[in-house]
Amino acid sequence: MRPGIEWRAARAEADSAQFAADLQAALTRTPKAISPKYFYDEIGSRLFEQICELPEYYPTRTELALLQGHAADMASVMGTQIQLVEYGAGALLKVRLLLQAMRREQVQFVPVDISGPHLLAACDALAGDFPGLAVQPLVADFTRPHTLPPCPAGAHRVGFFPGSSIGNFTPTEADAFLRLAAEELAGGGLLIGIDLVKDHGVLHAAYNDAAGVTAAFNLNVLARARRELGAEYPADGFEHLAFYNPAYRRIEMHLRATRPLTLQVGGERFDFQEGETLHTEHSHKYTVSGFQAMAARAGFEPGPVWTDPNTWFALLWLKAPAR
């Protein structure tokens, strides 16, 4: 196994510099808001794995059940001789169910993730469990320009983007990602998971678990800034806040100041009033028809859809016509 991009100190330094610049920009704008991609350092990635196992957090178990029940059908629409690209690959849990339904010698697997050490450790475990599978990990921010490994001769490229991670994007960002994916997956397609509109109580519980794991995950954004950037703020200065915003059909997560305080980072001071928040994530909820229409505008053609009995979650196949 050889990484598509080797993990080097220079890259880590560059990522820290980008984190610092983005955090300072986030704290300057009104309202204050930062990209959720900064959740996923090594600690944040482990916390998210714990979230996925919580009883309140339905998306992971629901999507896993769909994959367990329909992986063969999903693999069939993807075809044979493929380069399988997983965006935001993380722990490589769900893709295992797809790979079990495929002939390994006909697949080159390219997991893409921003958390280098976490990704490479997951790839080592995957390679041990799937001997003979060609694995080419790529440490990159897949929402920014990146270069995938060349597609093997005679193969076509297909994407896998589970977890309803696209819900973390703004509508503009989601459109940009889908257009990028339609271009780099041309001649193949994309299997994507989306969280569907549902009872608000179910949504609230999923993002406010009794064990406090989601709160720790949220608070880790600033803890990471303390570790990596030397940020200074009161240890008990922020609390987790998550709620459903029906006007935008999305869950919002914020870090709320518990009192008037100052956060210092990069030689600058940023004041918070009591109750003022740093918006850290939003998770949009979709209808199948609405998402298919958005994908069509980006250049995809709608295909088969798999949903659970509660219609809480869906996996959609989107065909990317050749260009």
- Per DSSP, the residues of 126-174 read HHHHSTT-EE--EES-TTS---PPPPPTT-EEEEEE-TTGGGGS-HHHH
∠153-157-160 over CA atoms, to 5°? 150
Q: What is the pLDDT of residue 103?
A: 94
Over residues 188-239, the pLDDT tens digits come to: 999 999 999 999 999 999 999 999 999 999 999 999 999 999 999 999 999 9
Strand partners, 160: 86, 191
* CA distance readout (Å), 142 to 22, 45, 115, 176, 263: 17, 16, 11, 11, 30
Partners of 264 in the β-ladder: 232, 269
**pLDDT values of the chain reduced to their tens digit, one per residue, 323 residues:** 333 333 333 344 457 889 999 999 999 999 999 999 899 888 998 999 999 999 999 999 999 999 999 999 999 999 999 999 999 998 899 999 999 999 999 999 999 998 888 899 999 999 999 999 999 999 988 988 889 999 999 999 999 999 999 999 999 999 999 999 999 999 999 999 999 999 999 999 999 999 999 999 999 999 999 999 999 999 999 999 999 999 999 999 999 999 999 999 999 999 999 999 999 999 999 999 999 999 999 999 999 999 999 999 999 999 999 98
Residue 23 falls inside a structural domain: no
Q: Are 231 and 263 in contact (CB under 8 A)?
A: yes
Q: Could you tell me if residue 51 is inside a domain?
A: no
What pairs with residue 263 in β-bridges? 270
Q: What is the largest CA-CA distance in the chain?
A: 61
How far apart, in whole angstroms, are the C-alpha atoms of residue 89 and residue 100? 17
pLDDT at 144: 85
First to last CA, the chain: 31
> Domain containing 167: what range?
58-199+285-319
Give the predicted TM-score (pTM) of the model: 0.89
Model pLDDT, residue 15 = 78
Q: Is residue 234 part of a domain?
A: no
Distance from CA of residue 190 to its chain's centroid?
15
Helix (H) or strand (E) holding 84: strand 82-87
Residue 147 lies in a domain: yes
Distance CA 212, CA 197 (A): 24
The whole-number pLDDT of residue 207 equals 97
**What's phi and psi for 83, nearest 5 deg?**
-105, 115
Q: Which of 197, 185, 199, 198 is nearest to 295 (CA)?
A: 185
Residue 164 lies in a domain: yes
Residue 63 lies in a domain: yes
Residue 11 resides in a domain: no
Instruction: Give the per-residue pLDDT at 23.
Output: 97
Is residue 122 one of the residues assigned to a domain? Answer: yes
pLDDT at residue 188, rounded to an integer: 98
CATH code of residue 97: 3.40.50.150
Number of domains in the chain: 1
Q: How far apart are CA 87 and CA 111, in angstroms?
A: 7
